[in-house]
């Protein structure tokens, strides 16, 4: 990125060590389970059987993942996979997995759906998806089986209180709702600030529903600089080699609001911990200082984008680039495994500027 196009709003934090992790869990689990609610950034297969454009169960997706194409929107691991490695957990089954019940639920479940949003209507033009509210209902539907498997009572309460919850939402509410005025009315009905408040109100209700069930450890992942994804860079709105600054600016209200929400929930609910992961700053650090992290391509995806797939996803069976470790983005929106490893490590051990008020490792020890 040329200096004239460097965007503001990022704190530059040097990542001293990137932990090398294997294709499976390491050591004894630090938490009993992880439950994931989110979109395509953390989907691990729930969208495979849906009638949707947003699918990733074909090559070249998964080219660097030990199981191949699984439905992960990456060449390899997602942020959740990296956190599973760091916490010593096995990779999570997708909620849609066949035969998922009883003891197979005990290590956690991934409910994320590719084109899902905080709002139920988000992403509907892409086809089927499972919104945040429905994902929470899906978790509630698994509670009877968890209660039977664990035994209920105090054992269940301790299990839920010690489990980790990862929530990754908001990206689609902007790129597949608010920023598509020809398909959705949200940009006509709300200013950027009001839209952020609208999203956070819905988001809060679902967090409180999960808290009421007994979950107590929450990582709330903020939005990345969406004005810098290849999809936006090629939109013609910004000069060549530049991010779309107006897109990045509108995300500020959501991210600031999400951090404030975590702080307020911590005050209102003693005994629980809500942490905000500052993905905007972490990914911004990479984009502003790519050579520090050994990246050389920050403005292009690593796979060819299929025109029949809303110009977001990899063309089926198309050979990806060979220098994937040097690319920040995998397709037109999703980061590569190399970036996910950095984001995961920063969420796990980062200082309060990366993850506030405490990091995932500290939460696991509570």
Flag whether 22 is in a domain: no
Three-state DSSP at 165 gives strand
Three-state DSSP at 213 gives helix
CA-closest candidate to residue 293, choices 347, 263, 336, 257: 336
Burial of 52 from C-beta contacts in 10 A (0-12 / 13-18 / 19+) = middle
Question: Using one digit for the tens of pLDDT, what is the confidence trace for 337-351?
Answer: 999 999 999 999 999
Looking at the annotation, which residues are catalytic? 40, 331, 334
CA atoms lying within 13 Å on the CB side of residue 53: 17
DSSP conformation letters of 250-268: HHHHHHHHHHHHHHHHHHH
Asked if residue 356 lies in contact with residue 275, where contact means CB atoms within 8 angstroms, the answer is: yes
Flag whether 21 is in a domain: no
Flag whether 17 is in a domain: no
- State the Cα–Cα distance between residues 251 and 240, nearest whole angstrom: 22
DSSP-assigned letter for residue 227:
G
DSSP conformation letters of 47-107: TTTSSBS----STTTTTTSTT--SSBSSSS--HHHHHHHHHTPPPPPBTT-TT--GGGGTT
Q: Provide the strand spans (E) within the chain.
A: 34-38, 108-110, 164-168, 217-221, 273-277, 355-356
Q: Which domain holds residue 298?
A: 3-11+29-365
Asked if residue 129 lies in contact with residue 54, where contact means CB atoms within 8 angstroms, the answer is: yes
Flag whether 16 is in a domain: no
Flag whether 20 is in a domain: no
pLDDT in tens, the chain (366 residues): 433 465 444 332 222 222 333 334 456 899 999 999 999 999 999 999 999 999 999 999 999 999 999 999 999 999 999 999 999 999 999 999 988 888 899 999 999 999 999 999 999 999 999 999 999 999 999 999 999 999 878 999 999 999 999 999 999 999 999 999 999 999 999 999 999 999 999 999 999 999 999 999 999 999 999 999 998 988 777 777 789 999 999 999 999 999 999 999 999 999 999 999 999 999 999 999 999 999 999 999 999 885 434 478 999 998 999 999 999 999 999 999 999 999 999 999 999 999 999 999 999 999
Q: Write the CATH number for 333.
A: 3.40.50.1110
34-38/108-110 β-pairing:
parallel
- State the Cα–Cα distance between residues 231 and 171, nearest whole angstrom: 13
Flag whether 34 is in a domain: yes
Q: Output the six-digit token pair for 360.
A: 């995932």
Flag whether 271 is in a domain: yes
**203 membership: H or E segment, kind and range:** helix 192-213
Question: Using one digit for the tens of pLDDT, what is the confidence trace for 9-34?
Answer: 433 222 222 233 333 445 689 999 99
pTM for the model stands at 0.92
- State the Cα–Cα distance between residues 115 and 54, nearest whole angstrom: 6
- State the Cα–Cα distance between residues 194 and 154, nearest whole angstrom: 42
Flag whether 234 is in a domain: yes
Q: Please state the domain count of the chain.
A: 1
CA atoms lying within 13 Å on the CB side of residue 70: 23
């Amino acid at each position: 990125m040329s200096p004239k196009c460097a965007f503001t709003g990022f704190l530059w934090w040097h990542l001293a060590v990137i932990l090398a992790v294997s294709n499976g869990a390491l050591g004894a689990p630090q938490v009993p389970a992880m439950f994931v609610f989110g979109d395509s950034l953390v989907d691990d297969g729930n969208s495979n059987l849906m009638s949707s454009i947003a699918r990733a169960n074909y090559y070249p997706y998964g080219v660097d993942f030990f199981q191949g194409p699984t439905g992960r929107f990456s060449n390899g691991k997602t942020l959740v996979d990296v956190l599973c490695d760091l916490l010593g957990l096995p990779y999570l089954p997708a909620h849609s997995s066949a035969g998922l019940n009883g003891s197979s639920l005990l290590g956690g479940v991934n409910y994320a759906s590719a084109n899902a949003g905080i709002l139920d209507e988000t992403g509907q033009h892409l086809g089927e998806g499972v919104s945040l509210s429905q994902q929470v209902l899906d978790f509630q539907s698994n509670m009877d089986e968890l209660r039977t498997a664990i035994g209920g009572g105090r054992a269940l309460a301790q299990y839920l209180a010690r489990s980790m919850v990862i929530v990754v939402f908001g990206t689609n509410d902007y790129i597949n709702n608010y920023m598509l005025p020809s398909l959705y009315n949200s940009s006509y009905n709300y200013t950027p600030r009001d839209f952020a408040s609208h999203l956070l109100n819905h988001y809060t209700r679902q967090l409180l529903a999960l808290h009421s069930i007994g979950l107590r450890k929450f990582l709330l992942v903020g939005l990345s600089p969406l004005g810098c994804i290849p999809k936006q860079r090629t939109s013609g709105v910004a000069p060549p080699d530049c991010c779309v600054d107006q897109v990045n600016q509108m995300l500020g209200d959501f991210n600031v609001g999400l951090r404030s929400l975590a702080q307020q929930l911590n005050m209102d609910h003693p005994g629980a911990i809500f942490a905000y992961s500052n993905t905007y700053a972490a990914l911004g650090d990479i984009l502003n200082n790519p050579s520090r992290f050994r990246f050389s391509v920050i403005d292009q995806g690593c796979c060819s984008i299929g025109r029949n797939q809303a110009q977001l996803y990899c063309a089926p069976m198309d050979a990806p680039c060979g220098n994937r470790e040097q690319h920040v983005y995998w397709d037109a929106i999703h980061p590569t495994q190399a970036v996910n490893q950095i984001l995961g490590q920063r969420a796990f051990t980062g200082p309060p500027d990366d993850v506030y008020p405490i990091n995932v490792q500290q939460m696991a020890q509570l």
